[in-house]
Structure 1
Amino acid sequence: MAEFVYPPVIRTAMTVFRALDIKIKIIGAENVPATGGAVLVSNHISYLDFLFAGLGTVKGAKRKTRFMAKDDVFKHRISGPLMRGMKHIPVDRTDGQPAYEAAVRALRAGEVVGVFPEATISRSFTLKKFKTGAARMAADSGTPLLPVILWGTQQLWTKGRPKTLTKRHVPVIIMIGEPIHLQPGDKPVMVTRRLRAAMTEMLDRAQQMYPAQPTGPDDTWWMPAHLGGTAPTLEVAEAEDEQEAAAKAARRAAAAEAAGHN
């Protein structure tokens, strides 16, 4: 089936990256399966991660990834048509089953489906707890998990920081690990632990080989606390996430109550 939206989006992104001299290094491109379904599992440190994770499969095996993303993005007047045109999969956070079933169908049809198992951006830039959905999708579709680690993308646009989409010369590492093939009887919880352990090791390697360091005291925010940066620790970041989720829930409840009175 012809792709009318995905190729120009990729070309546009690459043009912008070249103009900004974003120094992209892809490691492990040979690990992208040439054919067949696969669940691409990426860490999440930036609002742009789907672009870079998807770029890894395009460069690795000329394959396009269909990402699962919250349905709000599909309702936006600009991003909505693009997301639908690229055949990404909308997720309703109040009822994720239809999205799950759509993802399994896509995997069985031979597509690469992209998942962020942390669900939201990690403010600590370390791996948060993983949800088991990726492992369950791989088991239900009979496809492998493809671990992907991104590093450097947080410098461009991340949660709690202003957009710096015009920042130049930022190095970005895209590391693709060996596919993880499930065996009959593998439990999703155990597979998820194995996946997270593999991705933790990959993230450590990506951080060690990253060619840039903070330029001064005001530029340490993008470095994790355990590496001497001023990003919040995982525990502090999780507390901030909980506060934000509670505030959103309160706003939704207030809006629903106000609508009920109208």
Structure 2
Amino acid sequence: MTDKHPAPDHIRLAKRVAEQLNCSRSTAEQFIEGGFVSVDGRVEEAPGARVRPDQAVVVAPDASLLALTPVTLLLHKPAGFEAGLGQPGQGGAPHSSQGSRSQGAPSAATLLSAASHLPEDASGIRVLQRHFKQLECFTPLPTEASGLVVYTQDKRIARKLAEDIESLEQECIVEVAGDIAPNGLQRLCHGLSFNGRPLPPIKVSWQNETRLRFALKGIRPGQIPAMCEAVGLTAVGIKRIRIGRVPLAKVPEGQWRYLQPWERF
């Protein structure tokens, strides 16, 4: 906890680093937030932390502002959390989801923390507190659905998702109940209408006796449940497992991984 009345010889860490490196305060803050500064052997990511004159403040030899690249987080959102739909500061294509918004649901962004990072993440990226700031979501997913949601700091990825989400194929696994109508699978693939408009051809196949795999573009709110209902089925659960060429992979519910440098939507 920060002391409201720090001792006169306690100064902000950013000021101490700026003096040691003979650099600007803003540059010092970036080094600190980048995880390059330790105090008495422990990494300190808060530029406003107070330090005493006798404390050892060390800047890592490999400290570089070039390493402070923006990141993209891939979250496995559980059902019951809201992702992107109408949330402040999270723009994007509101028509890219498969359901409706639930009032009062907690934001999926609250699940993003160091504690919920996938331990087996193969990216090699070190988790930093700055990775949870200034994130944008352009891949909304209805509250009742689960699966892949993308949060990014990278303006290039944000622009890609904002502009191309309608044309990116999304893959979903849909848990269904009921008995499918005769020729129902063929009708799901081609032959149904939604909101008065014929749907384009869609890839739909059985995964097992109760699960269907949908691969489609430009999904509209409520489209998948309506398609299932049209052939005698009830959509019990929807899980998005891929957006474009980026899969959720083996990320458990409530955890997230970094988008790897070679992955492209």
Indicate the TM-score class for this superposition, using the shorter chain for normalisation: under 0.3
TM-score, structure 2 as length reference: 0.23
TM-score, structure 1 as length reference: 0.23
- Higher share of residues assigned helix: 1
- Higher share of residues assigned strand: 2
